[in-house]
């Protein structure tokens, strides 16, 4: 899966499923402070990542992920591993 597809899939589910406003979606957006993603949204994200990318997010892998770019990088690394 290439980077563009990964970003498109993630952005679509952030807008449609997590109900984040599209104008807030940018690479350097902070997941918590800019996009307002909280632990309830995270339940959805874990399920949606498994459904769309075929792997389960691990808690320890998310500790250093703060921005949307870092999240794209993480997904790309896992998908293309």
62 binds other proteins (CB under 8 A): yes
Binding mask 20-49 for other proteins (x = CB under 8 A): ------------------xxxxxxx-xx--
Q: What is the crossing angle of helices 3-16 and 68-79, to 10°?
A: 120
CB atoms within 10 A of CB 81: 6
CA angle 75, 21, 42 (to 5 degrees): 45
Q: How far is the CB of 28 from other proteins (least distance, A)?
A: 21
Tokens representing 36 are 């307002």
Residue 4 or 60: the one with the smaller Cβ distance to other proteins is 60
Would you say 25 or 62 has its CB closer to other proteins? 62
Nearer to other proteins, 15 or 47 (CB): 47
Q: Residue 8, exposed/middle/buried by CB under 10 A (0-12, 13-18, 19+)?
A: exposed
Binding site for other proteins (CB under 8 A): 17, 38-44, 46-47, 57-59, 62-63
């Amino acid at each position: 899966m290439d980077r563009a597809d990964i970003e498109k899939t993630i952005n679509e589910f952030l807008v449609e499923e997590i109900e984040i406003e599209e104008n807030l979606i940018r690479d350097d957006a902070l997941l918590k402070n800019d996009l307002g993603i909280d632990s309830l949204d995270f339940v959805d994200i874990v399920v949606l990542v498994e459904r769309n990318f075929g792997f389960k997010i691990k808690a320890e892998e998310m500790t250093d992920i703060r921005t949307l770019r870092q999240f794209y990088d993480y997904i790309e690394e896992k998908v293309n591993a």
